[in-house]
């Protein structure tokens, strides 16, 4: 059995007060325990918060370029370990190797990006109403930030929260998801090697009910950033704001791709398949609804079925699409497949578990047709490789169907009509809107976030928006 990885608290690698550990299994072969981590409790979380609070002032006073140097060195260390980190991500989360390598590279790029941004931090200078007065603003760190991250992007999402928090001078406590915590621990290892001062970053593994709750409620914590399901995120938001914290929640999605009458059906099917079946459908921005004009509906369905059936399923190091991350995720996906069939949707392909891949957590790429807009398969987040195809008679109906959900994270349209494209950009109720592109995939230097139940609609992530969340403005009147 593997040795247990330790928590990172106050610059030391520590074991939990509970004395308990948690096992992480290979989603492609659940009989294989690939890693073991600390099953921490509230006492461990409290120690992490105290360490962060003690380190916060000194790190905040460190010049931005010096903070950037630490981030840049960490990026180099991650780059040197890219293959090792990719192997770890495949083993713990199950992603196909190409997707895992791309995610690791994204984390590296994020650290390089915010290393440079640390040197650019500043405020604005304004003209005062009277003479002999300097009037300007200063950006200061909020203090201690608590980061709660999910398993589906186990290195990229911790990186895009952690890098701007550190770049702007905050101390951090981080709780990664218990299903795949290893890549987040690897970020701590890189930062420790890069010379990050003790206590500035603290990583504690374990359940949300003890670790995350302690983080969110601690008096020393000033800001909370969460990514995960809407149900959990809404509870975390209420808990954080009730305790006076700055709060940023990015949550679920029910993301549509509208296929217009002018679209090429095969091109549209390729876009939808990439967005819907990439990362095994385990992305908050995954396309789960294809809203298709009746003129191209039949051709699109045939092409999408072909795309789904051409995907090779298997272990991440060998196939196009890997397993889902856990047995409970597979059960949830299969439950929605049963619900869709019972509601009256037609199973065009997939819908089952491959019978030649052992006990791995696999689900076939699945396409449903004859889906009505009010079916649960068209309204609720599935988080698996399932696409519901909805037929519409015109663009106005397509837009109405696209917006007729409780979520608003990502959306796209496939069209050759520029007027439709402009209308969709203006009227789509989503925080990310794309034209002739898949719903997944994000640039790291522009804001990311959703509308409605996809987000707290308070602060965006990434780029300058990430800087904004982790800083607070001070206005200075210097009457010299």
> Could you tell me which of 303, 332, 252, 314 has the C-alpha nearest to residue 414?
303
Structure tokens at 249: 């929640």
The answer to whether 250 is a known catalytic residue is yes
Is the separation of the CB atoms in 438 and 100 below 8 Å?
A: no
Q: Which of 50, 92, 250, 381 is catalytic?
A: 250
- Whole-angstrom Cα distance, residue 454 to residue 228? 10
- Whole-angstrom Cα distance, residue 414 to residue 306? 19
**Radius of gyration for the alpha carbons in the chain, expressed in angstroms and rounded:** 23
Q: Is 320 exposed, middle or buried (0-12, 13-18, 19+ CB in 10 A)?
A: middle
> Could you tell me which of 187, 205, 204 has the C-alpha nearest to residue 196?
187
Evaluated on CA atoms 195, 198, 201, 207, the torsion sign reads positive
- Whole-angstrom Cα distance, residue 213 to residue 407? 25
Strand partners, 414: 259
Is the separation of the CB atoms in 131 and 140 below 8 Å?
A: no
* Close Cβ partners of 45 (under 8 Å, ≥ 6 residues apart): 173, 175, 204, 206, 210, 211, 212, 214, 215, 218
Exposed e or buried b for every residue in 87-121, given b needs 16+ CB within 10 A? bbbbbbbbbbbebbbebbbbbbbbbbbbbebbeeb
User: In which residue are the tokens 């191209």 written?
Assistant: 296
Q: Is 279 left (phi over 0), alpha (psi -120 to 50) or beta?
A: left
Alpha helical stretches, state H, 220-361 = 230-242, 265-277, 297-309, 327-343
Q: Is 439 exposed, middle or buried (0-12, 13-18, 19+ CB in 10 A)?
A: buried
Helix (H) or strand (E) holding 390: strand 386-392
* Close Cβ partners of 152 (under 8 Å, ≥ 6 residues apart): 93, 279, 282, 283, 284, 325
What amino acid positions are annotated as catalytic residues? 250
């Amino acid at each position: 059995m593997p040795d247990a990885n330790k928590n990172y608290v106050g610059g030391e690698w520590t074991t939990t007060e509970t004395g308990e550990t948690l096992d992480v299994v290979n989603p492609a072969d659940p009989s294989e325990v690939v890693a073991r981590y600390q099953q921490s409790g509230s006492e461990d979380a409290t120690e992490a918060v105290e360490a962060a609070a003690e380190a916060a002032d000194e790190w905040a006073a460190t010049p931005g370029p010096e903070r950037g140097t630490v981030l840049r060195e960490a990026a180099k260390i991650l780059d040197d370990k890219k293959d090792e980190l990719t192997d770890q991500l495949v083993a713990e989360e199950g992603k196909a190797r190409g997707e895992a390598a791309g995610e690791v590279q994204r984390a590296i790029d994020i650290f390089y990006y915010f290393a440079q941004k640390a040197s650019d931090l500043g405020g604005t200078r304004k003209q005062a109403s009277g003479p002999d007065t300097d009037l300007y603003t200063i950006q200061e760190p909020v203090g201690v930030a608590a980061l709660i991250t999910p398993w589906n992007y186990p290195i990229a999402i911790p990186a895009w929260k952690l890098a701007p928090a550190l770049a702007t001078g905050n101390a951090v406590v981080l709780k990664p998801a218990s299903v795949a915590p290893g890549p987040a621990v690897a970020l701590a290892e890189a930062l420790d090697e890069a010379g990050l001062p003790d206590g500035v970053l603290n990583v504690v593994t374990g359940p949300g009910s003890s670790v995350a709750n302690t983080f969110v409620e601690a008096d020393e914590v000033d800001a909370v950033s969460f990514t995960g399901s809407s149900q959990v995120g809404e509870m975390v938001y209420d808990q954080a704001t009730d305790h006076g914290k700055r709060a940023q929640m990015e949550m679920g999605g029910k993301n549509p791709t509208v296929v217009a009458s002018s679209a090429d059906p095969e091109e549209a099917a390729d876009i939808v398949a990439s967005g819907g079946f990439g990362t095994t459908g385990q992305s908050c921005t995954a396309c789960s609804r294809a809203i298709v004009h009746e003129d191209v509906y039949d051709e699109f369905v045939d092409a999408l079925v072909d795309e789904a059936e051409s995907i090779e399923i298997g272990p991440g190091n060998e196939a196009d699409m890997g397993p889902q991350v856990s047995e409970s995720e597979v059960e949830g996906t299969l439950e929605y497949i049963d619900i869709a069939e019972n509601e009256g949707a037609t199973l065009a392909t997939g819908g089952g578990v491959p019978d030649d891949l052992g006990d791995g957590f696999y689900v076939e790429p699945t396409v449903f047709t004859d889906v009505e807009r009010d079916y649960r398969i068209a309204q609720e987040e599935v988080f698996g490789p399932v696409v519901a195809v909805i037929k519409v008679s015109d663009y106005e109906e397509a837009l109405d169907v696209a917006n007729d959900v409780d979520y608003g994270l990502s959306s796209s349209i496939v069209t050759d009509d520029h007027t439709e494209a402009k209308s969709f950009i203006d009227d789509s109720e989503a925080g990310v809107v794309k034209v002739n592109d898949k719903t997944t995939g994000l640039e790291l230097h522009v804001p990311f976030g959703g509308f409605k139940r996809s987000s707290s609609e308070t602060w965006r992530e990434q780029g300058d928006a990430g800087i904004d969340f982790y800083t607070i403005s001070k206005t200075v009147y210097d009457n010299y």
